[in-house]
Structure formats: C-alpha cells, structure tokens
Chain A
C-alpha cells in the first residue's frame, strides 16, 4: 500500500538518520511545523490541509 511518513520539523534530523539506518538516504517524507500534540482540533485540521499537496506529490498523484 502506498504510504507517506509525516513528521514535524523538529524531527527532521532524526527522520533522516532513520532513513540512512534503513539504507534509504534521501527518503521522501512530509515535514510540518512543530508542535502538533498541543494543537486544537481546528489546528490539526489546518495542518492536514497544509500538508495535503506535499502528501499527494510524494505519492505521485498528478492533479
């Protein structure tokens, strides 16, 4: 199943280290502004809307 990893920008270095560990340097994933845990439902919805184009781009969806 096609998937996209999503993490906040605070975890970019870790995400890249994990990708190298698995032998996929340069692995494509979506990065969104930190933090998420303390956001309201509206804030979460806004983050999702903002990241959607990037998710579709990584999945190779052409509009």
Chain B
C-alpha cells in the first residue's frame, strides 16, 4: 500500500467518510481553502445545541477538502452553510430524523460557469466535480463535525441517495423566465445558493403533450400523493426541464401562474385521505392521523364547496426552477420540507 492509500485507509478507520474514499487534508490544503473566503475560521456556520456540536468555517473547509472540492469552490460551500442556517430545518434536528432528508443546494448566477456547476443533462446524476463535491462537503461535515453517523445520531429509516450529494445549477441560459435568485431580489450577475431540505426526487415523464393543463395535471399528481403527507401539508421545488418550461411560457404562463395552477391542482378529496388513514390532523403533533384517532381534528380545506384539502398551504409552497437538458420532456418534483410559503433561503455567494 502506498502513502496515499494508507492515508485514505486511515480516514476510513477513523470513520471520517460517507463510505467513499476521502481526500486526506493537511495544513497546506486547509490554508488554501480558507484563503478563498473572508471569514473567521472559528466562526460558527451551523450550531446544533441539542447535540452540543457546531460546524465552523475551519471544519467546513477541512470537510470540503476531504470531499474533493477545489479551493475555489469554498465560497459556494460557505454560502450553502449560510443558506442551511437560514432555512432552519437542519438546526432543528431534521438531519437526525427518521424521515432521512437530504439538503438540495440550488446554485444560481455566474459562479455556475466559473466553477463548472452542471445545470443541464444528468442534473441529479454523476459526472461533474463541482456538483459532486460541493454537496458532499455538506454531508461529510454533518458526519464528521456534527457526528451524524447513520445508526447513531442519524436515525434515517431509509434515507435517500441525495444524502451523498444534491447540488444542481439552474439552467438560466435555457429558461424562458427569470432565475430564482433574481425573483428574490438579487441581480442576474450575483451568484447565490438556495438550500432546501428534501426527501425524494420524483420523475415526471411527459413527452406526450403540448397542452399546459395536461402537463401540469401530470406534475400535480405527484404533489397530491398521500404518501408524502406526514404533516398537514407538503411543499415542493418543481424542476422543469427547458422543454416543459418553454411549452408553458410559449402559452403565456409565468412561473407564478404555474405555481398557482399546481396549488389549485393539489386538491385531495377527504375520501382519498380517509382511504390512507390520513383524513384528520393531530391537535398536538399536527401530523396526519385517521379521523378516529383520539387526538384527531378534521382540518377544513381552503375551498368550502369541496370536502378535502390542498396539499400545499399556498402557491408560494411550490418553487419553480428550470434545469436539465433540452432534449426531452422529463421534469422532476423535489419533495421539500418547507418553505411552506416562506421566503426560500436565497443566499449570495461572496466573490470567488
């Protein structure tokens, strides 16, 4: 075994890994990464008082090296931590939960081109160093710095492959609409990271239609599935491929129109909820329960004419972004934990 292999095996032996080999980090590598940001190495990026641990800028840098990041990626990694802190769910313990969530990082702006963040084909798949390692840098710090190891403080019942990495760029160049960071007040030339707590990524196969209402009915079927309803409602980031986005935009639909229509289509009849034993909500936990549960309250829907609920609290619970290749009608619904109408945690990236 050579020195490199010995160092990698040492990291495995210490448990400093997501199961894949990590890049051993020395002081020079750490300094090169820290030099890319104007942040105090001791600054806490994300504290978790419930487990007495925190990720500092220094720890985030070490884990970024271990994940395989180039030093110039680090401003994006730091922005991702800033966004995760603002988004709020990780701080409250969601990374320890049985649900087994991951953190989706959406990258906007010129930094995508500068670092080679993929926003086109195989968006959620492998092959791109920036996407692979920026997302991995977050997970490795969760494991190594927060101690969220599976079977211990990470109690995920099944988890998701997105826990290895989930970092995508928005395909701004092929989108008919303004990008997400511009919708939330930044300039097109700014770069930003928006973190979202996610469960699944679900494919929407719709190569068959040119009718906006048919396409969105197809998408809404996933937004309205009862299996996603742990809480009273759900939220989603709908990642439209350029072909779908143009189909909608060419017919005069704005992103807001799409969100509003998907919200309206997310209606689930009470009878359907009852068949899944989710026709009511617990007064204490606000989780969905059957009507005969001792703590149950039947939650009135937004539409008094129909007995049932919208799975979304409002159109704001559906974020619409454009990404993927311009080669087919395949989009995705990313099932998120919030924002259920809150402002997404769009966070500027400091100059690289």
Contact = CB atoms under 8 A, between A and B. Distances in A.
Interface of A: 11, 13-14, 17-18, 21-22, 41
A52 to B, nearest CB: 20
Nearest to A37: B287
Interchain residue pairs A-B with the least CB separation, the first 7: A17-B152, A21-B51, A17-B153, A14-B155, A41-B294, A21-B52, A13-B151
Q: Which of A13, A14, A17, A22 has the most chain B CB atoms inside 10 A of its CB?
A: A17
B21 interface: no
A22 B52 contact: yes
B52 A14 contact: no
Contacts of B306: none
A18 B294 contact: no
B53 interface: yes
Nearest to B50: A18
Contacts of B53: 21
Given A11-B155, A17-B153, 16 more contacts: A13-B151, A13-B152, A14-B96, A14-B152, A14-B153, A14-B155, A17-B147, A17-B152, A18-B51, A18-B153, A21-B51, A21-B52, A21-B53, A21-B147, A21-B153, A22-B52
Interface string B94-128: 00100000000000000000000000000000000
Nearest to A44: B294
A25 B235 CA distance: 39
Contacts of B153: 14, 17-18, 21
Contacts, number: 19
Contacts of A13: 151-152
Contacts of B152: 13-14, 17
Main secondary structure of the interface of A (DSSP, over half): helix
19 contacts: A11-B155, A13-B151, A13-B152, A14-B96, A14-B152, A14-B153, A14-B155, A17-B147, A17-B152, A17-B153, A18-B51, A18-B153, A21-B51, A21-B52, A21-B53, A21-B147, A21-B153, A22-B52, A41-B294
A15 to B, nearest CB: 10
A19 to B, nearest CB: 11
Interface string B33-55: 00000000000000000011100
A13 to B, nearest CB: 6
A11 to B, nearest CB: 7
Contacts of B294: 41
Interface string B236-256: 000000000000000000000
B289 to A, nearest CB: 9
Contacts of A21: 51-53, 147, 153
Q: Which of B53, B147, B153, B294 has the most chain A CB atoms inside 10 A of its CB?
A: B153
Nearest to A38: B277
A22 B320 CA distance: 42
A35 to B, nearest CB: 11
Q: Which of B51, B151, B152 has the most chain A CB atoms inside 10 A of its CB?
A: B152
B96 to A, nearest CB: 8
A21 B147 CA distance: 9
B85 to A, nearest CB: 20
Interface in B56-94: none
Contacts of B96: 14
A17 B153 CA distance: 7
Interface in B151-199: 151-153, 155
A22 B53 CA distance: 10
B155 to A, nearest CB: 5
A13 B262 CA distance: 42
A41 B153 CA distance: 30
A22 B96 CA distance: 16
A14 to B, nearest CB: 5
Contacts of A41: 294
Nearest to A17: B152
A21 B52 CA distance: 7
